[in-house]
């Protein structure tokens, strides 16, 4: 029996209606960081993510693609560069991945729906309202913003249908109490918005079934209805543990957990979700945390607007850990932030290359240069230093005053040790408050302090007289390695792969990588083998990187375009007599020349069978060299009125076949059998 404390944390389940972007990645990386932090602390962690696969939007997208909804979502979830691949690339440590099309979930939702119907919380009625198709949300008139969906700003449609309703109104007071009088919803600043905008105007019963489309979980006792996607989706947090199904048996042990969600879905998680739980007598989630959005040029990034940033491109160019770090370091977790590539590069250069990278590479290089890769025994923490660090870590030293004479190296040691010893406590406080950006801020203060310690101690000067200063030099380098170790442990949840490498370079063995040891000074073995290894965070040349990014993004946009596209077929009929008026003839190319000052036009001299040459100008220079066309038999319409182009007359038009490939127009002149004589009529 596992007696470790349990910690259950979830991301929202993502709509696989399109590839996921950096905004989704932000949410998953943040949740992963929290999960890894709790594992580091020794908790038994269950981390769930997944995909929300039903609903009208996906049904429509699949229709457009000419495949079934299941085939459509399979591609996006399981396919190359799909959701699962993205999480693998981003080093996401989820223990489970739920898809709402998973059979066990479907059956569980049917049972849940029936239970709420049987307990009287779901009843049948008629729905009249405003529906936002992309968001799958019904709204009341008063909730609309300028007549449009308050979430995405797009137009809504009138919708009316026989439907099942959930008695949300019945739970209004209890939910209000939960929001106002507990720490259920975080950050606290979101509480007011929920209460003022949604609860105080009056909570109406919620429509929880649809008949207008079929891609959803059928209500088993009334199968022309499918379950509303949000009921289907919210319960993923417990069906993935085995609630109302036999696939897992973890519900009792793990629920309740913590739901991390974006701000626009806080409403569903902080009002509807607890009301559902109350209806079934389930424990309520411990916390719902609503994080902010990553914005692009100040506006929302969205798959449907097409202005999204591709995490694959960024991770491939800058490295997974640099991207993870940037997301957590730059944007305060509860607020919105403006994403930009420039900011990403700046963060990598300042924090990772300059501060952390330099600390590690300078320290390991000096251990190599002055001590051949291993410090001498006895250079480690003194008993006094350990005591001091212990008192600071316990919080027993308030306002440490150190009256060292100017230039006394003990002053530098005490300051560095003091900062490093106090770090774990500050970091923990921030992480517990869902403020990973603050935790990183604390870590970087210590890294900066350590870099300053190098300059204060000037190891290169000490090294000039090893006999006199060798012991001091070794102690300085030990302190630097020890500060690096403590920071490295606390950075592990943010950059797991890179910290493994850091530990190897700094000679930190497994026992010195634990949470406990991050709170103790002097754990590192003083004789550990230190390696000056690869540069973990190389400096990025901003201009070259931005150009490369632009090229990769253009390439990706092109790759995302359909392979081949044709003009849509016209639905207007043309009567036969009108059609017959167009005079199409076989023509032979006698001469073909470029037109001066035009990079589009070619001038054709054509034999049209009349004995008089015909001149036609055609905008096809992009696709053909003039000399390749001489002698070819083409098709021209010859009874169009003559037209002047670049000062020259064109009498007719050559016929071509056109289509689009990867967004580029492709043209082929219609060439016919050379046995056909010039002037032959096409009919
Ligand atoms: N399927 C629902 C969630 C159901 S949970 C029971 C959904 N899916 S979503 O794919 O549209 O969004 C999933 C999450 O990604 C949301 O938390 C949303 O806030 C987050 N993000 C989407 N774009 C984002 C940004 N630009 N920035 C930060 N997070 C964003 O909603």
pLDDT band at 1 (very low <50, low <70, confident <90, very high): very low
Give the number of the atom of ligand 1 that is nearest the alpha carbon of residue 269.
6
Per residue in 293-345, pLDDT (tens digit) is: 999 988 888 766 667 889 999 999 999 999 999 999 999 999 999 999 999 99
Whether the ω angle into residue 230 lies within 30 degrees of 0, i.e. cis, is no
Does the pLDDT value for residue 44 go beyond 70?
yes
Q: Are strands 6-14 and 258-262 parallel, antiparallel or unpaired?
A: parallel
Per residue in 94-112, pLDDT (tens digit) is: 999 999 999 999 999 999 9
Residues 261 and 291: beta-carbon distance below 8 Å: yes
Residues 29 and 328: beta-carbon distance below 8 Å: yes
Q: What is the distance, to the nearest Å, from the Cα of residue 523 to the centroid of all Cα atoms in its chain?
A: 37
Per residue in 513-553, pLDDT (tens digit) is: 999 999 999 999 999 999 999 999 999 999 999 999 999 98
Task: Return the structure tokens found at 44.
Answer: 């038994």
pLDDT at 305: 65
Residue nearest to atom 13 of ligand 1 (CA): 14
pLDDT at 404: 74
pLDDT at 402: 63
Share of residues in the chain with pLDDT > 90 (%): 83
Q: Stretch 374-382: mean pLDDT, rounded?
A: 95
Tell how far the Cα of 345 is from the centroid of ligand 1, in angstroms. Answer: 25
Residue nearest to atom 24 of ligand 1 (CA): 23
Per residue in 585-630, pLDDT (tens digit) is: 999 999 999 999 999 999 999 999 999 999 999 999 999 999 999 9
Tell how far the Cα of 230 is from the centroid of ligand 1, in angstroms. Answer: 13
Task: Return the structure tokens found at 212.
Answer: 């207008």
Residues 474 and 375: beta-carbon distance below 8 Å: yes
Per residue in 438-451, pLDDT (tens digit) is: 999 999 999 999 99
Residues 375 and 381: beta-carbon distance below 8 Å: no
Tell how far the Cα of 264 is from the centroid of ligand 1, in angstroms. Answer: 8
Per residue in 473-520, pLDDT (tens digit) is: 999 999 999 999 999 999 999 999 999 999 999 999 999 999 999 999
DSSP structure string for 183-232 = S-EESTHHHHHHIIIIITT-PPPEE-EE-S---SPBPTTSTTSEE-HHHH
Q: Are strands 287-291 and 185-186 parallel, antiparallel or unpaired?
A: parallel
Task: Return the structure tokens found at 256.
Answer: 């309740």
Per residue in 649-682, pLDDT (tens digit) is: 999 999 999 998 877 889 999 999 999 999 999 9
pLDDT band at 8 (very low <50, low <70, confident <90, very high): very high
Per residue in 140-198, pLDDT (tens digit) is: 787 889 999 888 889 999 888 789 999 999 999 999 999 999 999 999 999 999 999 99
Tell how far the Cα of 23 is from the centroid of ligand 1, in angstroms. Answer: 8
Which of 9, 11, 17, 24 should be mutated for ligand 1, with most atoms under 8 A from CB?
Answer: 24
Residue nearest to atom 29 of ligand 1 (CA): 23
Tell how far the Cα of 200 is from the centroid of ligand 1, in angstroms. Answer: 26
Q: Stretch 572-581: mean pLDDT, rounded?
A: 90
Does the pLDDT value for residue 213 go beyond 80?
yes
Angle between helices 320-330 and 496-506 (to 10 degrees): 110
DSSP structure string for 377-417 = TT-S--HHHHHHHHHHHTT---S----PPTT-HHHHHHHHH
Residue 384 vs residues 400, 415, 422, 512: alpha-carbon distances, Å? 15, 14, 16, 20
Lining residues, ligand 1, CB within 6 Å: 12-15, 23-24, 26-27, 52, 233-234, 236, 261-262, 264-265, 293-294, 301
pLDDT at 400: 56
Q: Stretch 427-437: mean pLDDT, rounded?
A: 98
Residue nearest to atom 25 of ligand 1 (CA): 23
Residue nearest to atom 6 of ligand 1 (CA): 234
Residue nearest to atom 19 of ligand 1 (CA): 262
Least Cα distance to 440 among 361, 322, 519, 325 occurs for 325
pLDDT at 189: 94
pLDDT at 558: 83
């Amino acid at each position: 029996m596992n007696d470790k404390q349990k910690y259950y944390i979830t991301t929202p389940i993502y709509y696989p209606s399109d590839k996921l972007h950096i905004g989704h990645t932000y949410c998953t990386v943040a949740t992963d960081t929290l999960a890894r932090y709790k594992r580091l602390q020794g908790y038994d962690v269950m981390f769930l993510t997944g995909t929300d696969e039903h609903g009208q939007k996906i049904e429509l997208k699949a229709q457009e693609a000419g495949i079934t909804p299941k085939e459509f979502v399979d591609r996006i979830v399981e396919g190359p560069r799909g959701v699962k691949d993205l999480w693998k690339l981003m080093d996401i440590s989820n223990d489970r991945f739920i898809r709402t099309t998973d059979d066990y979930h479907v059956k569980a939702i049917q049972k849940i729906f029936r239970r709420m119907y049987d307990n009287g919380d779901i009843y049948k009625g008629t729905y009249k309202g405003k529906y936002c198709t992309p968001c799958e949300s019904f709204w009341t008139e008063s909730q609309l913003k300028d007549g449009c969906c308050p979430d995405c700003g797009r137009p809504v449609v009138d919708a009316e249908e026989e439907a099942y309703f959930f008695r949300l109104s019945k739970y209004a007071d209890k939910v209000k109490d939960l929001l106002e009088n507990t720490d259920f919803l975080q950050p606290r600043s979101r509480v007011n918005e929920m209460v003022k905008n949604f609860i105080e105007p009056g909570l109406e019963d919620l429509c929880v079934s649809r008949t207008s489309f079929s891609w959803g979980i059928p209500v088993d006792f009334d199968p022309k209805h499918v379950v509303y996607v949000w009921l289907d989706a919210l319960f993923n947090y417990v069906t993935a543990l085995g609630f109302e199904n036999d696939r897992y048996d973890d519900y009792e042990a793990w629920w309740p957990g913590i739901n991390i969600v974006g701000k626009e879905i806080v409403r569903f998680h902080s009002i509807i979700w607890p009301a559902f739980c109350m209806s079934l007598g389930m424990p309520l989630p411990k916390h719902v945390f609503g994080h902010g959005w990553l914005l692009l040029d100040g506006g929302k990034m969205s798959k449907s607007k097409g202005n999204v940033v591709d995490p694959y491109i960024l991770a491939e160019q800058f490295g997974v850990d640099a991207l993870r770090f940037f997301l957590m370091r730059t944007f305060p977790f509860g607020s919105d932030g403006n994403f930009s590539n420039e900011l990403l590069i700046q963060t990598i250069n300042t924090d990772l290359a300059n501060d952390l990278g330099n600390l590690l590479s300078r320290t390991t290089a000096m251990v190599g240069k002055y001590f051949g890769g291993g410090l001498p025994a006895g250079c480690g923490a003194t008993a006094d230093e350990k005591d001091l660090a212990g008192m600071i870590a316990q919080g027993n030293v308030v306002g440490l005053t150190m009256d060292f004479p100017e230039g006394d190296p003990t002053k530098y040691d005490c300051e560095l040790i003091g900062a490093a010893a106090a770090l774990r406590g500050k970091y923990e406080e921030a992480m517990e408050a869902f403020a990973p950006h603050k935790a990183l801020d604390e870590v970087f203060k210590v890294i900066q302090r350590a870099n300053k310690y190098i300059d204060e101690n000037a190891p290169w000067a000490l090294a000039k007289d090893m006999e006199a200063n060798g012991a001091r030099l070794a102690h300085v380098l030990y302190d630097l390695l020890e500060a690096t170790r403590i920071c490295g442990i606390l950075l592990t949840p943010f950059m797991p792969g890179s910290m493994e490498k850091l530990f190897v370079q700094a000679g930190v063995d497994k026992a010195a990588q634990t949470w406990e040891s991050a709170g103790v000074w002097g754990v590192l073995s003083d004789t550990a083998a230190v390696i000056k290894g690869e540069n973990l965070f190389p400096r990025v040349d901003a201009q070259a990187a931005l150009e490369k990014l632009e090229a990769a993004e253009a390439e990706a946009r092109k790759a995302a375009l359909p392979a081949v596209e044709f003009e849509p077929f016209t639905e207007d009929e043309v009567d036969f007599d009108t059609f017959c008026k167009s005079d199409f003839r076989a023509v032979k190319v006698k001469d073909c020349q470029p037109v001066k000052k035009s990079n589009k036009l070619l001038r054709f001299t054509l034999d049209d069978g009349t004995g008089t040459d015909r001149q036609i100008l055609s905008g096809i220079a992009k696709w053909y060299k003039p000399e390749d066309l001489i002698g070819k038999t083409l098709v021209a319409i010859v009874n169009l009125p003559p037209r002047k182009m670049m000062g020259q007359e064109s009498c007719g038009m050559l016929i071509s076949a056109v289509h689009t490939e990867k967004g580029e127009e492709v043209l082929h002149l219609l060439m016919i059998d050379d046995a056909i004589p010039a002037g032959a009529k096409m009919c």
